[in-house]
Amino acid sequence: MIGILDWGIGGLFALQALRRRQPTADVVYLSDAGNTPYGRQSHRELARSVDRGLGVLRDHGATQILVACHSASTVLPLLAAPDAVGVIAPEHVPRGGRIAVLGGVRTVRSQVWRRALVGHGTVVQRIAQPLSAAVEAGALDSARTRELVRRLLEPVKQADTVVLACTHYTAVAPLIAECTPGARLVDPALARAETLELPPGSGGALALTTGDPQSVNAVLEKMTGMGAVDQVVWFVRL
């Protein structure tokens, strides 16, 4: 069984990618939204949170785990987790040119992507934290979100490659593409999902959350109606 760990719902795009590759794959997803947002936790607190999340997924049968969250991936080296893989994967980013990395506060300030992309090209990082809140609220194409994307991307609109260093940003990828014409968008979580071994199973899928399932599912209904998410697995409380 494949496990996916994320703080919110952005990792669902990786789940969709997995199910498209192998529709009968068995998947268990954990959204740790009842916890303090990962980007606001100390390094030690985050390591404990990720370790707990991995344990929950293992308890539900996961034998291979994708840590879809970039913040959570920064603490994976601290954990004894040979069954887990993160999304800091520079091999999926094209070399050369101007590379814009969009991420949350922790991801950008950790410099993890800047270090990973040494030798790839000219790297510029942008903190795009407000986009995560917009996606979690289901505001994917509002005038406010469009203006937010435009303002955040203005300094990097000439980028050749844009790294979506947060799973939420895939939901507004069309808006990001509009603001960076000609750039190649790279979602490391989706790219990593393409590398996992996916043995056929029964097609079972379970979505768990430490947060409020009703709130999460209400946002998913909105996203589904907009065509942003398909193959939705409705969340139940952990």
179 is catalytic: no
- For residue 126, count CB atoms less than 10 angstroms from its CB and return exposed for 0-12, middle for 13-18, buried for 19 or more: middle
DSSP assigned state of 82 = T
166 is catalytic: yes
* Lookup result for tokens 């291979």: 64
The gap between the terminal CA atoms of the chain, to the nearest Å, is 18
CB atoms within 10 A of CB 25: 22
Provide the CA 143 distance to its chain's centre, in angstroms: 24
Marked catalytic residue, from 69, 163, 196, 233: 69
The residues, any chain, with a CB within 8 Å of residue 34's CB and separated by 6 or more, are: 209, 210, 211, 212, 238
Marked catalytic residue, from 50, 88, 166, 190: 166
Active site (catalytic) residues: 69, 166
